Amino acid sequence: MVERKKQMTRDKVSRLVNWGHWFAFFNGFLAMIIGARYLSSVGYPETIIGWGYLAISTIGHFSFLAFIVYVVFLFPITLLLPYSKILRGYAALVATLGLCILLYDTIVFDDYGIHLSPFAFDLAWTDLNALLKSTSYIATPTAIILIELTAANFIWKRIEKLEKKQFGNKAIAFVGICFISSHLVHIWADASDVTQITRFDDTYPLSYPATARSFMESHGIEGTNSDDNRYQTKSRNLSYPILPLQCKDPALLSQQTNVLIISVDGLRADMVNELTMPFLTQYQNDNKQFTDHFSGGNQFKTGMFAMFYGLQGNYGDRKEFYHTPPVMTVAMVQAGYQQAIFLSEENEKVFDNRSIFDGLSVITNESEEGSAQTDMKNVQAFIDWSASQQSHWFSLVNLSAPKHYDTPIGFLGIETIKPHIDVKPAQKVLYNQYRQSLYFIDQQLKELLNHVGDDTLIMITGTHGQIFSSNPSEVNQDLSPGNVKVPFVMHWPNVSADTVSYRTSHFGIVPTIMSQVLHCNNSTRDYSSGYSLLQPSQQKWVYIGDSRTFAIYQKSEITVLDRHGKYRIYDINYQKQLKQKLSAPELIQVMREGRRLYNQ
């Protein structure tokens, strides 16, 4: 009799375990349906290979999450309290809570681009009224728990039929194959830079696709090393500009000003001095210099995007902006400006198949002797182009030698000095080589500006700053002041020299040109995240970076965040503050600005 009771208990537990597996499988299916909301935030695949990977990844990932919830929360209860009614009710509550958390995560991800975490939860709780715009947050959990209770009872009544048909092993095998295959495919895609696949890396919560770049490359499978993010998308309707531009008719202007922007990759603000860059130092003393100016990012892509669009870098990762030209260059075309940009082929490829340079003649050069030689070619190309213009023009000249620590062969530089910042012994070599490159660029600036008239509006700045490292990954992830704070000097015709001490950024370049040169009457908020450089910004923070990693520069602290919600807080000297708490109100302003053009 005792043996029979034990056997009955084992059979009952076995049946409950089988039921739990099918219940978990059902909830994995529901999770996939809710998970489809993530795709409305990042955009749908545009290739067959993208759809194929997304299918197996979705099935494998959400089924795995559902199984983990079952193992952690249901399986122990099955052994401790093997009573079907209690277990079914408890399982329905657990599943409802899990799906509601997933649903809430889709809302947070759609608005902020990050998944739930203690940081994201605090942020979303503060901004709760903006996130939950209807009563659906009451009706939805009610509907989910009704579905869960119905499903739990339905599966329990048919568990014997399911066992007889032996669907369980087939379902487990199918899900297992999808899970393993998705990781194997991602290993290949990561090593080969297949962006149709790797762009979904951060889409799903708790998703950590396997990577083996070094392993694959050692076996002869090399990536393209491209930085192509064409598939970072956003599906909402874009309002850019928010209102139609209202600019003065060019025919009513007595004279239109030529505009020249000189952007130097890797130009630190603290390296412009009489010893290293004597010409630029004197030039900024004779003109309007901005002593607290920031780029829009720490890379060419984000810095240039800020200069042309005047928008936060997270907009640049969205699909619409790959096909939307800047309002500034569109207005320039309407005003009859001849436009050209001069840059290296390497930098031009960063914006391949994008509309950022629409309306401009893109003139590229490249030299096997290095980026310094390329810069010399681009300077000469600009001199020739500007001399041939018969009407007003706008041009941007991009120089990149400092980013690569490059100088021409045979270049006679300046003497080495002790670094003014704390650097490691190996970095001292890079520091002084960097100074040689800046000295070379200083001479190129002098040569270029000798061929530009005083009646031209001239802006000289850095695309981004520079840290002294030969590791590209380290450089691209560093958001310290040395990597993002750049000089900015502006020559305004018939305006006396001046020093501007309030904080400015690249986001102010577009509003300045739009309002002062093109005489557009729109509020700068219609098309930009910034304000004119000629007035202090109303914002108490500056956004620097892109949608993956960005920094918020405030008056006395710097907050660096990634899209997973991890954050670190530094003081203004970039020393980590261990006990400092995040300032939620400012961060909410940043997040709202990042989605403002989609909420009109």
Using one digit for the tens of pLDDT, what is the confidence trace for 491-519? 999 889 999 999 999 999 999 999 999 99
Q: What is the DSSP letter of 581?
A: P
3-state helix, strand, coil in the chain (%, to 5): 50, 10, 35
Find the helix or strand (DSSP H, E) in which 592 lies: helix 584-595
473: pLDDT strictly greater than 90: no
The confidence score (pLDDT) of residue 126 equals 66
Residue type, 263: S
Q: To the nearest whole number, what is the mean pLDDT of the chain?
A: 87
Concatenating the DSSP letter of every residue in 146-182 gives HHHHHHHHHHHHTHHHHHHHTHHHHHHHHHHHHHHHH
Contact 208, 64 (CB under 8 A): no
Contact 567, 559 (CB under 8 A): yes
The confidence score (pLDDT) of residue 437 equals 97
Higher pLDDT, 282 or 12: 282
Give the span between the Cα atoms of 459 and 260, in whole angstroms. Answer: 6
The confidence score (pLDDT) of residue 223 equals 45
Three-state secondary structure call for residue 460: strand
Exposed, middle or buried, 448 (CB in 10 Å: 0-12/13-18/19+)? buried
> At how many degrees (to 10) do helices 118-126 and 584-595 cross?
80
Q: What is the DSSP letter of 310?
A: -
Give the span between the Cα atoms of 444 and 399, in whole angstroms. Answer: 9
447-472 pLDDT per residue, tens: 999 999 999 999 999 999 999 988 88
pLDDT-derived band at 165 (thresholds 50, 70, 90) equals confident
Lowest-pLDDT choice from 375-379, 424-428, 533-537: 424-428
Is the bond preceding 493 in cis, omega lying within 30 degrees of 0? no
Contact 514, 520 (CB under 8 A): yes
What the block records as the tokens of 587 is 């961060």
Contact 13, 68 (CB under 8 A): no
- State the average pLDDT over residues 370-379: 96
Give the span between the Cα atoms of 303 and 317, in whole angstroms. Answer: 13
What the block records as the tokens of 197 is 């696949």
Percent of the chain surpassing pLDDT 90:
57
Contacts of 26 (CB under 8 A, 6+ apart): 151, 155
What are the sequence ranges of the domains in the chain? 2-218, 255-535
Give the span between the Cα atoms of 528 and 311, in whole angstroms. Answer: 5
500 CB-side CA count, 13 A: 22
Cα 181 → chain centroid: 28
Cα 462 → chain centroid: 20
* 3-state SS string for 93-133: HHHHHHHHHHHHHHHHHHHHCCCCCHHHHHHHHHCHHHHCC
pTM score, whole prediction: 0.74
18: pLDDT strictly greater than 80: yes
Cα–Cα separations (whole angstroms), residue 158 to 23, 39, 84, 267: 12, 34, 14, 70
The confidence score (pLDDT) of residue 431 equals 94
252-278 pLDDT per residue, tens: 666 789 999 999 999 999 999 999 999
The confidence score (pLDDT) of residue 96 equals 95
CATH homologous superfamily of 255-535: Alkaline Phosphatase, subunit A (3.40.720.10)
Which of 463, 460, 461 has its CA nearest to residue 303? Answer: 463
Give the span between the Cα atoms of 596 and 600, in whole angstroms. Answer: 7
Say how many C-beta atoms besides its own lie within 10 A of residue 231's C-beta: 21
What the block records as the tokens of 554 is 């405030």
